[in-house]
Amino acid sequence: MRHHAFIIEAAEAESGIETARTWMRQELDSRANDNLDVIVLRYGLFSVADARRIFDLATGASFVGEYKVLIIAVSRMYHEAQNALLKIFEEPPKGVYLFLILPTFGGLLPTLRSRVTVLEVHAAKQQEKISEVARMFIEGTRERRSALIKKLASGKDEEERRESRDETIAIVNGIEMASYRALRKHKDDKTIIALLFEIAFLRNYLHERSAPIRMILEHLSLVLPENLI
């Protein structure tokens, strides 16, 4: 039985989008480019309103073929937006295929994850670069980290706070990526294993609307091992 709803973990959205298109070519024998029934959507912050739009697109008629494919690349999404996707991801209309691409599964609700199939990005595609802001945080001195934390925690309006939250997520993602790479070289390193558990715990707060940026980054600064990169 062919699955109809997928999630893809990819630090770079384009890698995940290409993974979805490759699946299409192999499984549906369908053109992934220049196809009116293949819709690629890119979001920074995915909202409940965006989830409603996905529902409307998924339930609408296809243009020319028997299949419709929605490829949704998201930088981050609040829990209420994930809840709004549950029904359409559990029972998409016949002939509709859904792909949700996230930089990490860390903030994904178990209820949504249980309704989808995970598609793996090819290993060669997973060697994305750690973001510049994450590298600055990891390699910086305590003083430089403190200055960066102060800057990110001092947003004056909603737009600045949203940008700061995005940079904080990039930092956490970068630390997680660097930790997994380090763990491949030092499989039993208890410090790195503990750090990964810390990251998994902090993600519970990171994807909330009022994420405590200062608390998250100050804690990571304290537990971050030297020479992680």
Which of 200 and 1 is assigned the larger pLDDT? 200
Given a cut of 80, whether residue 115 has pLDDT beyond it is yes
The answer to whether residues 20 and 104 belong to one domain is yes
The answer to whether residues 12 and 105 belong to one domain is yes
Token reading at 101? 């691409």
Alpha-carbon distance values, 89 to 24, 70, 81, 83, 169 (Å):
17, 11, 12, 10, 25
Provide the domain count of the chain.
2
Q: What values do phi and psi take at 61, rounded to 5?
A: -70, 150
The answer to whether residues 122 and 211 belong to one domain is no
* Final residue of a structural domain among 76, 107, 126: 126
The answer to whether residues 209 and 140 belong to one domain is yes
- Look at residue 82 and tell me if it is in a domain: yes
Q: Which domain holds residue 188?
A: 132-223
Nearest to 75 by CA among 196, 195, 179, 163: 163
- Look at residue 160 and tell me if it is in a domain: yes
pLDDT single digits (tens) 26-62: 887 665 555 668 899 999 889 999 999 999 999 987 7
pLDDT score at 139 = 93
The answer to whether residues 19 and 118 belong to one domain is yes
d(CA 119, CA 9): 8
pLDDT score at 214 = 92
The answer to whether residues 117 and 10 belong to one domain is yes
Radius of gyration of the chain (CA): 19
The answer to whether residues 97 and 144 belong to one domain is no
How sure is the predictor about 180, in pLDDT bands with cuts at 50, 70 and 90?
A: confident
The answer to whether residues 117 and 23 belong to one domain is yes
- Look at residue 229 and tell me if it is in a domain: no
The answer to whether residues 72 and 185 belong to one domain is no
CB 116 within 8 A of CB 7: yes
Given a cut of 90, whether residue 85 has pLDDT beyond it is yes
Mean pLDDT taken over the chain? 84
* Final residue of a structural domain among 103, 126, 149: 126
Q: What CATH number is given to the structural domain containing 33?
A: 3.40.50.300
Question: Which helix (H) or strand (E) segment is 166 a member of?
Answer: helix 158-185
- Look at residue 228 and tell me if it is in a domain: no
Which of 204 and 213 is assigned the larger pLDDT? 213
- Look at residue 64 and tell me if it is in a domain: yes
d(CA 166, CA 67): 34
The answer to whether residues 44 and 155 belong to one domain is no
The answer to whether residues 163 and 191 belong to one domain is yes
* Final residue of a structural domain among 100, 126, 152: 126
pLDDT single digits (tens) 134-176: 999 999 998 999 999 999 998 778 788 888 888 898 898 889 8
- Look at residue 177 and tell me if it is in a domain: yes
